[in-house]
Amino acid sequence: THRDPNQPEFQEAAFTVLDTLKPVLEKHPEYIKANILGELVEPERAIQFRVPWQDDEGNYQVNRGFRVQFNSAIGPYKGGLRLHPSVNLSIIKFLGFEQILKNSLTGLPIGGGKGGSDFNPKDKSDSEIMRFCQSFMTELQKHIGPDLDVPAGDIGVGGREIGYLYGQYKRLNGSQNGILTGKGLEYGGSLARTEATGFGLIYYLNALIKDQGESLKGKTIKISGAGNVAIYAIQKAQENGAKVVTASDSNGYVYDPNGIDLDTVKQIKEVERGRIKEYADKISSATYTEGSVWDLDIDYDIALPCATQNEISGDEAKLIAKDGAKYVAEGANMPSTTEAIQVYKDKGIIYGPAKAANAGGVAVSALEMSQNSERLSWTFEDVDGQLKDIMENIYQKSADADKEYDLGKDYQAGANIAGFEKVAKAMLAQGLV
């Protein structure tokens, strides 16, 4: 803590993970001797840079850019770029640290990194976004490469931004290297990337629930969000015979006891770019309420937070337990507060943490890197099939660690341990680097 006194998000993430690693260290004193934990919490490199750009009125603006290259023990740094006013070094380090273990869990050769800027894309014109992205990449391109560091999108960075960033990299380097993932299908993107996180969440959930002797068929699900993750989680859950009864945005939620009509949600969110409120105008069985979907009092079996960080407080977690839900699996990054996670444990709710449950997005990004290296494009079925295998393996590795260390169905600790062990072994093998 003395090194990073002003980094509360990073400290919380690091302490939470380190706490769950105690049983591994007792079993493997060689990790302590080699100070693996000391190295793990120290990024290999943290780059901070100025991003000057010109707004539409001709004013010069300056933002702060970051790329934290946290750990390359098992492969090139991989992790998204976030554009949001809240971005600072602490948040990027927290996300980058989590990414090391998430990427390790996928079983693919990718290290951990994260980046972004405190630029707010929400109120900017298309040309302002382009000028910002070009300036950001003018510096970032010095530090990335297909075998070194391959960034992707995150909050505020979608297909449009990836396109502008990629175009600038190409212009400066004269090469077509796959230095970013999340690209358009016309220039090196992967089929099934759009669906990957939502589908992957349900593949993970299926494996988890099967292991408890149950199935998704006939289960009632409450989901939050109506964005990329939520939409494809709803689709795959319905394909598995579950009934999803909610969807939400930052203003409110819809409740449809007949089950959410996915085509209507897709039309509103993906075509019309409207608000979830409009669902209740189109579907007569649905009601719209302002506020958090976690405060809706109905009986259901599974909670899938797919909106944003810290959306479930301790009190809301108590409501989840009271409503009879037995499972929580996280599509969003860190949607449950520390208090909420404690409630899940106290009430015997089985908890699938983001690091494991939402790793489908980065897994398919790594498959995009493979396709770019091969100069090939795989079919949707091929990528989707690999995604399913990867997610089932992630659950299995977490469950195996849970059994090995006798954690009592603590799949959060299981995921941390399974992700850590691969990285720790690789770090140990490579010596002081």
- For binding to ligand NDP (CB under 6 A), which residues are involved? 154-155, 197, 224-230, 248-251, 306-309, 311, 331-333, 358, 361
**How many angstroms separate the CA atoms of 33 and 175, rounded?**
44
Q: Which residues make beta-bridge pairs with 303?
A: 222, 328
**How many angstroms separate the CA atoms of 400 and 405, rounded?**
9
* Minimum CB distance to ligand NDP smaller for 182 or for 407: 182
Give the closest residue to 413 by CA, choosing from 405, 70, 111.
405
* Minimum CB distance to ligand NDP smaller for 75 or for 331: 331
Helix (H, G, I), strand (E, B) or coil at 190: coil
CB of 36 to ligand NDP, least distance (A): 26
CB of 123 to ligand NDP, least distance (A): 14
Give the closest residue to 330 by CA, choosing from 400, 381, 394.
394
Helix axes 89-105, 411-430, angle to 10 degrees: 90
Sign for the pseudo-dihedral over CA of 168, 365, 83, 228:
positive
In the set 22, 33, 93, 114, the catalytic residue is 114
The gap from C-alpha 200 to its chain's centroid, in whole angstroms, comes to 11
Sign for the pseudo-dihedral over CA of 160, 161, 164, 165:
negative
The gap from C-alpha 41 to its chain's centroid, in whole angstroms, comes to 20
264 annotated to bind ligand: no
CB of 222 to ligand NDP, least distance (A): 13
228 annotated to bind ligand: yes
Sequential DSSP letters for 273-321: ---THHHHHH-TT-EEEES-GGG-----SEEE--S-TT-B-HHHHHHHH
CB of 391 to ligand NDP, least distance (A): 13
114 is catalytic: yes
CB of 218 to ligand NDP, least distance (A): 26
Contacts made by residues 388-392, CB under 8 angstroms, sequence distance 24+: 388/199, 388/203, 390/106, 390/107, 390/108, 390/200, 390/359, 390/360, 390/363, 391/200, 391/203, 391/204, 391/207, 391/359, 391/360, 391/363, 392/203, 392/204, 392/206, 392/207
Helix (H, G, I), strand (E, B) or coil at 329: strand
86 annotated to bind ligand: no
CB of 433 to ligand NDP, least distance (A): 29
Which residue of this chain has its Cβ atom nearest to ligand NDP in the complex?
Answer: 227
**How many angstroms separate the CA atoms of 230 and 4, rounded?**
35
63 annotated to bind ligand: no
* Minimum CB distance to ligand NDP smaller for 178 or for 361: 361
Taking the CB of residue 34, how many other CB atoms lie within 10 A of it? 16
* Minimum CB distance to ligand NDP smaller for 24 or for 359: 359
CB of 199 to ligand NDP, least distance (A): 10
* Minimum CB distance to ligand NDP smaller for 31 or for 94: 94
* Minimum CB distance to ligand NDP smaller for 24 or for 307: 307
102 annotated to bind ligand: yes
**How many angstroms separate the CA atoms of 370 and 366, rounded?**
6
Sheet holding 60-71, edge to edge: 45-54, 60-71, 111-117, 77-83, 149-153
Residues 6+ positions from 286 with CB-CB distance below 8 Å: 254, 255, 256, 279, 280
Contact between residue 97 and residue 13 where contact means Cβ atoms under 8 Å apart = yes
99 annotated to bind ligand: yes
Known binding positions: 78, 99, 102, 153, 197, 228, 365
Known binding positions for substrate: 78, 99, 102, 153, 365
Known binding positions for NAD(+): 197, 228
Active-site annotation, residues: 114
